[in-house]
Amino acid sequence: IILQLATSQAQAIDLNPLSAIKNAVEAAVEDRSSSDIAKDFELKTKITAKIVDKMGTDVFSLNTDVYEQDVMLTGAVENKRLKAMAASFAKSIKGVKKLYNEVIVIKGIDQDKGAAENFIDDAVIEGKINALLLDGKGVNVTNFRWRAVGGQVFLFGRAFSKAESSKATGVVKGIKNVVSVTSRVKIAPK
């Protein structure tokens, strides 16, 4: 129960059918070795467990994505101290190559909209990204990860070319209610 409370609202999206399909496809056609995928899964598990253990209910919206041992933290916290703590815990895990701390500080989380409404908007955005990138030509969706936080979208993973990365970013920018796109996608040909 504590894990459920402390994991992010964005992680709940992973239970939707589109994400489940995407995860199954990724496992089957991932453009990486099974040992690389296993390392990423192990890092994600360790980081999530440490953050939950050390920060408990102070973290109500935080997500960890790992790709080729690079880590991207996303979500929202109420102050800079919590953002820095999450980053510190993630960096402390052996095997993390690079950390992108994209956690947003939002004082008084419910200022403009209710948390539930933000969650619904972000869930819709993430679902649209999933569908559009799966359907899009020229984007190897299995190498991309994405998170939406208050309409701000963070892309992560690997593109085989600058054109592929630009196409993915362009698709996301065209989605209703997306207010900004930050790309942490690295370019690395096969």
pLDDT at 141 over 80: yes
Which has more confidence, 25 or 182?
Answer: 182
User: Rounded to whole angstroms, what are the CA distances from 40 to 48, 66, 82, 138, 149?
Assistant: 12, 5, 24, 25, 22
pLDDT at 24 over 60: no
Pairing of strands 104-105, 144-149: unpaired
Separation between Cα atoms, residue 19 and residue 13, nearest integer Å:
7
- pLDDT tens sequence across 91-105: 999 999 999 999 999
Question: Region 71-86: what's the mean pLDDT?
Answer: 93
pLDDT at 118: 59
Separation between Cα atoms, residue 151 and residue 12, nearest integer Å:
17
Question: Region 132-158: what's the mean pLDDT?
Answer: 92
DSSP classification of residue 97:
-
Separation between Cα atoms, residue 181 and residue 93, nearest integer Å:
28
Specify the pTM: 0.79
- Average pLDDT over the chain reads 82
What is the number of other CB atoms lying within 10 angstroms of the CB of residue 123? 17
Separation between Cα atoms, residue 174 and residue 128, nearest integer Å:
10
